[in-house]
Structure 1
């Protein structure tokens, strides 16, 4: 019977397409008395493991790249834009980006089961007498981290969202809550997580360091209108945790033989063995390579997401890359020659893309996994099996966040010193004098740090959030994203995604009148 309950608990976190209402209204994942389930700490731990396992699903295959679309950093490939008008709306910001948009609906639906189960764990285990260091406190801390992290994403992408706090369910219901209340809740969750999460944990699980990192990001990102944006509190969070981690050589971050480096704060764990593979290479590789060399070439794929020109070009050509920066060739593939053979576009000329072709222009490289190549000798033999770990939080990111906070606190000189620490790693440990950031105005720092964050964090999933929190999504995307520029229809309301139509139809407390402005 206990084994059956455990299996049901794990199955309960499997993602399906349905509305937030369905997830928020579940009586129980087990269909059993929740008091019994959540009073058994072993079952609760199993449930928590199931939430973590399902959380990995947010970053796999196409759904792991959707939130990279429509920024100044990455965009959809030309053939994808030509063949799928609905998904093309994610880059064009035209009428196809609406409440019926399937990929946006998927992103919404991926997150609510995790929030829901984390809320049940917290409600079942959290007590006023909980003592830091206990097993129960650790479970509550990790559940608060997961709920806080995912609520952070939901609030960044959709604005006002339901607050899933079972202790106040009769008061809160299933309706969207005011932004200040939402962000107060996120900050409270991450604060508790920072107090209760263990300092060390298994790879892929939350620690107090990860919680402090996210709490700092929350203080940086809370909308100004909430009164909760606080760069000094963010600075304090970062200072409390950064010393626990160490920058490692940049190539080590992308070496599958060196997972979970000393820089990793939280890293999602994958492998090239189904069902634990992330399949992301299928999305980021080149279709011209695939058509020439087949699936057994580890950088084959289907051009679902490619770098913008700004993100792959040199400074001399209007891009971001400076001579000698090792991050460039670790992040982006420029050469598609494979064992002495260079592919051409002839094999896919039928696509008729004209000057829009990009199948052999630079591609995302970070997640290429040679273990899947036929020449690796490991027998995986298909880039679909790509399974490198994927960073969620790492020290390079947090150092740059910390530098932003210092700059906003009028400590720009100190901020420049921190950025130069990150840049020194990008030049192999010793930063040439002509590459050091020197004195600059606070406003210039704000501009320059945005390009530095692309150089450091290209295609790691933070760009859209960075653009939203700094108010730069519209201007920079319109300037650097080819499809957004061609369409010319992006507007300020596109800082938020539309609430999915399924939610509006199935949740009586979120009606069409509650839709984000500008959408239908």
Structure 2
């Protein structure tokens, strides 16, 4: 039987050999670029492919393992006990390779699209222009992510002409920044206004202008130090601020910004650009992210939304906020979620905080309880990732303005707008003016007038007198001391078998939020204040480490953090991972950590590449 089959195979092969010249050698399962990009639909499919890499890049490790948090968070898991999160790695670490590859895949897709976008001149020119603008911007943004992380990198701006066309040397960081700015500037004239699109998940004029401000600030800072770019940064930010048609404005509620993101509501006044996610991995959509899973309050409750929870806040992060800054208790959770057997969204509130216990609080900005896609998936979330918010634009404008002209009234007001929006409008303090007499139980406390609401408080009684008022815990604002008060409410005490108790209240005001005079006394003081303010406003949004590097204070700041943690907590043997964190943020960090090493695999593939200093 075997010999029979062999003979048949020989005859068949001989037949193929005899007819080889008649075969069509052009593959049928591959489209040449000249045969594609022929319709508006094909252009948009190709553009979606360029966008797709954003979803991959922002889906997981960038929010907790890449060290983007700088001095804001620490890694809480038992493993891995080496890696980027404690600055213990080599150039062979797979996270570097994955990051580099994903960015260059996106760049390659953009290059093919840009080279072929005009293949069919009969496609409406306006459609082709928008596609070109978005692809240019995305390619430039991918290069921005590369230059921030690796410094100078190969500038590949066309599709490869040969399989052997792989040895491309690094361009200088300055040259990469110049190309980014050139491409984004060209894109700004081509893309649609955000108000025309109606959502922030697509590249738009406001996004391009705001990111250009960010790029210019980074180019002005370390290591390129092209300080003339501060002027361009200010001008691009001001274009966003002054755009009357877009009408950008801060959402009146700081928590509301993130509740909108989590519950899939667009707010194009504040959220200028987002990475789009949707689905629960059991429906037709598979583009899920990780916001609230890897960087939210931990929970095993699948109804609340399972959270792996890989990071916690540092004490420096917590104490960077002043009392009255309502952003703190949204960014750093005041509670732990209940167990899997308890009701959904059940909370156990943390009743006190000090330099020791502050390290045990979860990031609270992204809370899975607000998700609307059901059932909730254990490893993916549908929450869009914000890449640019209007508050960031205001802070970038203020920073650039200060570097050019010092703390001008416009710079100060830009910062104060951000701070006023995030400030409490509730009760600041209560003074018992008369404890009364005869109270055997706590009387009911009532607040009337003042224009606000949302207070939940109880009285404390000792020796027959009212001795104080305790506000209830609140998951959003820390304490249920009310919101929206424009004047102090009246306080009355009813019941409790006593009488005569009286108290007065003071409220937080907009003036409490404004920058202190010491912070506006000069350029250096303003710079230092805004370095902290960016952390307070943009807490955990992946910008902190890059900001510390461009300000030239990264190594010093991380060494100080390590010493502070050791002072706060002591040298720990358990848990081992926290001790490794302390040690990693100390001796391991040197100037070489301001750049990542070029991945080992890329040095092997591209013989024109050279390794970054210190690696």
Provide the residue aligned with 1:25 in structure 2: none
Change in CA separation of 1:115 and 1:405 when aligned onto 2, cut-off 3 Å: same
CA displacement at 1:86 relative to structure 2: 2.6
Matches of residues 253-402 of structure 1 in structure 2 within 5 Å?
Answer: 253-255=257-259, 256-257=262-263, 259-261=265-267, 262-274=269-281, 275-285=286-296, 289-290=299-300, 294-298=301-305, 300-312=306-318, 319-338=319-338, 342=348, 361-371=360-370, 379-402=374-397
Distance in 2, matches of 1:102 and 1:471, equals 27
Distance in 1, matches of 2:326 and 2:65, equals 27
Matches of residues 9-408 of structure 1 in structure 2 within 5 Å?
Answer: 31-69=30-68, 71-77=70-76, 79-80=77-78, 83-87=79-83, 90-93=84-87, 96-125=88-117, 134-166=126-158, 174-200=168-194, 201=197, 202-222=199-219, 223=222, 225=224, 227=226, 229-242=228-241, 243=243, 244=246, 245-248=248-251, 249-255=253-259, 256-257=262-263, 259-261=265-267, 262-274=269-281, 275-285=286-296, 289-290=299-300, 294-298=301-305, 300-312=306-318, 319-338=319-338, 342=348, 361-371=360-370, 379-408=374-403
| Cα contact 2:263–2:370 (8 A) shared by 1 | no
Change in CA separation of 1:132 and 1:226 when aligned onto 2, cut-off 3 Å: farther
Change in CA separation of 1:130 and 1:236 when aligned onto 2, cut-off 3 Å: farther
Distance in 2, matches of 1:304 and 1:252, equals 24
Provide the residue aligned with 2:494 in structure 1: none
Distance in 1, matches of 2:240 and 2:125, equals 18
| Cα contact 1:69–1:76 (8 A) shared by 2 | no
Which residue of the other structure, out of 486, 495, 503, is the alignment partner of 2:583? 486
Deviations 1:312-352 (A, max 9, x none): 2xxxxxx21111222112212121153567499xxxxxxxx
Change in CA separation of 1:450 and 1:131 when aligned onto 2, cut-off 3 Å: farther
Larger mean CA deviation between 401-410 and 358-367 belongs to 358-367
Which residue of the other structure, out of 436, 439, 446, is the alignment partner of 2:514? 436
| Cα contact 1:67–1:464 (8 A) shared by 2 | no
Change in CA separation of 1:444 and 1:63 when aligned onto 2, cut-off 3 Å: closer
Provide the residue aligned with 2:420 in structure 1: 424
Change in CA separation of 1:285 and 1:218 when aligned onto 2, cut-off 3 Å: closer
Distance in 2, matches of 1:341 and 1:197, equals 45
| Cα contact 1:160–1:179 (8 A) shared by 2 | yes
CA displacement at 1:383 relative to structure 2: 4.7
Which residue of the other structure, out of 538, 549, 573, is the alignment partner of 1:468? 549
Distance in 1, matches of 2:276 and 2:249, equals 20
CA displacement at 1:158 relative to structure 2: 0.2
Change in CA separation of 1:86 and 1:410 when aligned onto 2, cut-off 3 Å: same
Distance in 1, matches of 2:43 and 2:523, equals 48
Structure 1, unmatched stretches of 5+, are: 1-27, 313-318, 345-355
Q: TM-score, normalised by structure 1?
A: 0.79
CA displacement at 1:359 relative to structure 2: 11
Any idea what SS the aligned residue of 2:386 has? strand
Distance in 1, matches of 2:225 and 2:315, equals 36
Structure 2, unmatched stretches of 5+, are: 1-26, 426-507, 566-579
Change in CA separation of 1:468 and 1:118 when aligned onto 2, cut-off 3 Å: same
Deviations 1:383-414 (A, max 9, x none): 53432222111101111011000100123133
Any idea what SS the aligned residue of 1:384 has? coil
Structure having the larger proportion of residues in helix = 1
| Cα contact 1:68–1:459 (8 A) shared by 2 | no
CA displacement at 1:503 relative to structure 2: 1.0
Larger Rg belongs to? 2
Distance in 2, matches of 1:237 and 1:130, equals 34
Change in CA separation of 1:449 and 1:360 when aligned onto 2, cut-off 3 Å: closer
Change in CA separation of 1:203 and 1:367 when aligned onto 2, cut-off 3 Å: same
Change in CA separation of 1:403 and 1:130 when aligned onto 2, cut-off 3 Å: farther
Any idea what SS the aligned residue of 1:144 has? helix
| Cα contact 1:119–1:165 (8 A) shared by 2 | yes
Change in CA separation of 1:169 and 1:190 when aligned onto 2, cut-off 3 Å: farther
| Cα contact 1:332–1:365 (8 A) shared by 2 | yes
Deviations 1:117-148 (A, max 9, x none): 11221222269x99997111111110011011
Larger mean CA deviation between 39-48 and 464-473 belongs to 39-48
CA displacement at 1:418 relative to structure 2: 1.0
CA displacement at 1:71 relative to structure 2: 0.8
Any idea what SS the aligned residue of 1:499 has? coil
| Cα contact 1:70–1:92 (8 A) shared by 2 | no
Distance in 1, matches of 2:124 and 2:228, equals 28
Any idea what SS the aligned residue of 1:409 has? helix
Larger mean CA deviation between 448-457 and 323-332 belongs to 323-332
Give the count of matched residue pairs: 454
| Cα contact 1:159–1:179 (8 A) shared by 2 | yes
Looking at both structures, which has the greater relative contact order when contacts are Cα pairs under 8 Å and sequence separation is at least 6?
1
Change in CA separation of 1:382 and 1:296 when aligned onto 2, cut-off 3 Å: farther
CA displacement at 1:458 relative to structure 2: 0.6
Provide the residue aligned with 1:452 in structure 2: 533
CA displacement at 1:435 relative to structure 2: 3.1
CA displacement at 1:282 relative to structure 2: 2.9
| Cα contact 1:132–1:138 (8 A) shared by 2 | no
| Cα contact 2:240–2:393 (8 A) shared by 1 | no
